[in-house]
Amino acid sequence: MSTAAHTPPKPTRRERRAAERADATTTNREHASSSRRGGSPILIITLLVGAIGVVLLAGLLLLQGGGTVDGTGGAALTTPSSLTPTELAADRTLGKATAPVTLELWTDFQCPVCGQFARTVEPALVSRYVIPGTLRIIHHDAAFQGGRSSAAYDESVEPAAGARCAAAQGHYWPFQDWTFANQLGENQGGFSADRLKAIATAAGLDVAAWQACVATGDQQKAVRAETTQAVAGGVNATPTLNLNGQVIVGLKSVTELSALIEAAAGAAAGG
């Protein structure tokens, strides 16, 4: 018996062509099956990258909002960059009664320039002059912006009323810090009832008592009355400041106001 390796006969040309057609059919079927099972690798990678991008974008938006969500489905709340120290606070007044300089401020919670003053100028004045005892700050309502809307809900009056109800709990200044930190434009829903409730919560208020106070409507009437008095006294823009009798309209820098405060303090000391 021969032990040589068996060598099969060479296939004919017709047999080779038939085999090639069979291989091509098998390859196509395998590719289709793979597409049904997992899809194209390029498509899968594209979908994964897109999903990661959505997650990152959501994270960035949350960070931009200060990381505190209002719980109402609206925009996230921004944490104030600084909170007003309340050791010298009494209602809407901040500072010692014996301070030689008094700065009265007529403001609107929707006014963008008032927001700039509250966020960037006032904290510096508090640090430099209120805490040392040179300056006393008093806030007044001039709720103008909401009147430009035809809506029954006034987004200037309501936050001012909420601030007065916060003052009843000794929390006016935290409430005003959180409110000014969360302006969203004039009459754009930024100070809806739900969002003001979220602000009250963030400011540390007894929210049930705060809501009951707001619901009476008494503070809204007080806001409107003080606004009317402001207009009668010549206030027609916000912010308007009165520094020991000197009227200042609009936003002034910390440097400008510091010079005026020091001059006023010097004048009070001299005479």
Q: Residue 12 has what pLDDT? A: 58
The answer to whether residue 36 is domain-embedded is no
The answer to whether residue 128 is domain-embedded is yes
The answer to whether residue 157 is domain-embedded is yes
Give me Rg for the CA atoms of the chain.
Answer: 34
Residue 162 belongs to domain spanning: 89-270
More confident: 271 or 83:
83
The answer to whether residue 179 is domain-embedded is yes
The answer to whether residue 59 is domain-embedded is no
The answer to whether residue 65 is domain-embedded is no
In the predicted model, what is the mean pLDDT of residues 26-50?
Answer: 48
User: Which amino acid, 57?
Assistant: L
Q: 258: domain CATH number?
A: 3.40.30.10
The answer to whether residue 242 is domain-embedded is yes
Number of structural domains (the chain) is 1
Q: Is 180 left (phi over 0), alpha (psi -120 to 50) or beta?
A: alpha
Specify the DSSP class assigned to residue 154: -
In the predicted model, what is the mean pLDDT of residues 97-114?
Answer: 98
Q: Measuring CA to CA, how many Å separate 230 from each of 139, 140, 240?
A: 12, 8, 10
213-261 residue pLDDT tens:
999 999 999 999 999 999 999 999 999 999 999 999 999 999 999 999 9
The answer to whether residue 213 is domain-embedded is yes
Q: Which helix (H) or strand (E) holds 48?
A: helix 41-64
**pTM of the predicted model, to two decimals?**
0.73
